């Protein structure tokens, strides 16, 4: 049970940090509140609280994560279409040219 509890904290906080890092790299504010993820993890490992509060807090975490990821993808879709040049026919596999060996 201890390993499962540690995994819940490690996995939830790591995912939160990575999504927030992607926000910071794009100049956006953090989208997923780290405190909410910690509260969801705590609610998930306390025996009787996990039956009601655990799923509800994880629902809010999932909503915050999905909204943030959607904003990141939306932002990337707008900026990627402006900076990607079309690939010419002789460019190789997926438009990548490999040096001669």
49 pLDDT band, cuts 50/70/90, is confident
- Kindly state whether residue 14 falls inside one of the protein's structural domains: yes
pLDDT on residue 5: 79
3-class DSSP assignment, residue 15: helix
- Kindly state whether residue 18 falls inside one of the protein's structural domains: yes
- Kindly state whether residue 8 falls inside one of the protein's structural domains: yes
Close Cβ partners of 78 (under 8 Å, ≥ 6 residues apart): none
pLDDT on residue 38: 95
Query: Of the given ranges (44-48, 53-57, 94-98), which has the lowest mean pLDDT?
Result: 94-98
**Structure token digits, residue 76:** 């990337």
**Average pLDDT value over all residues in the chain:** 82
Which residue range is the domain that position 57 belongs to?
Answer: 2-82
- Kindly state whether residue 92 falls inside one of the protein's structural domains: no
How many domains would you assign to the chain?
A: 1
Is pLDDT larger for residue 22 or for residue 83? 22
- Kindly state whether residue 95 falls inside one of the protein's structural domains: no
Single pTM value for the model = 0.71
Is pLDDT larger for residue 35 or for residue 49? 35
The DSSP-derived string for 3-14 is HHHHHHHHHHHH
- Kindly state whether residue 48 falls inside one of the protein's structural domains: yes
Say whether pLDDT at 97 is over 70: no
Phi-psi region of 69 (alpha: psi -120 to 50; beta: other; left: phi over 0): alpha
Query: Of the given ranges (41-45, 58-62, 64-68, 81-85), which has the lowest mean pLDDT?
Result: 81-85
- Kindly state whether residue 23 falls inside one of the protein's structural domains: yes
- Kindly state whether residue 75 falls inside one of the protein's structural domains: yes
């Amino acid at each position: 049970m201890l390993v499962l509890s540690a995994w819940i904290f490690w996995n939830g906080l790591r995912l939160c940090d990575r999504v927030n890092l992607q926000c910071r790299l794009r100049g956006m504010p953090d989208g997923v509140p780290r405190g909410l993820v910690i509260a969801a993890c705590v609610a998930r490992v306390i025996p009787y609280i996990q039956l009601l509060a655990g799923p509800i807090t994880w629902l809010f975490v999932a909503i915050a994560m999905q909204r943030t990821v959607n904003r990141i993808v939306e932002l990337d879709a707008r900026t990627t279409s402006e900076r990607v040049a079309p690939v010419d026919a002789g460019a190789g596999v997926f438009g990548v040219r490999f040096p001669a060996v």
